Amino acid sequence: MPGHSLILKNSLLVKKIAKELGFMFCGISKAEFLEEEAPRLEQWLKQDRHGKMAYLANHFDKRLDPTQLVPGARSVISLAYNYFPKRDLASEGNYKIAKYAYGRDYHFVIKDKLKTFMQLLTDKIGEIHGRVFVDSAPVMERAWAQKSGLGWIGKNSLLLNKNAGSFFFLAELIIDLELEYDGPVKDYCGTCTACMDACPTDAIPSPYVVDGSRCISYFTIELKENIPASFKGQFENWIFGCDICQDVCPWNRFSQPHTEKAFDPHPDLENMGPSEWKEITREVFNDLFKKSAVKRTKFEGLKRNISFLQT
**Does 211 qualify as catalytic in the annotation?**
no
**What is d(CA 263, CA 108) in angstroms, rounded to the nearest whole number?**
11
Active-site pick, 135, 176, 247, 264: 135
Measured torsion, CA atoms of residues 240, 144, 132, 59, in degrees rounded to the nearest 10? -80
In Å, how far are 29, 166, 200, 263, 273 from 143, measured between CA atoms?
Answer: 10, 14, 26, 25, 38
Cβ within 8 Å of residue 191, ≥6 positions away? none
Nearest CA to 70 among 156, 162, 138?
Answer: 138
Mapped to the 3 state alphabet, what secondary structure does 115-164 carry?
A: HHHHHHHHHHHCCCCEEEECCCCCCCHHHHHHHCCCCEECCCCCEEECCC
> Active-site residue numbers?
135
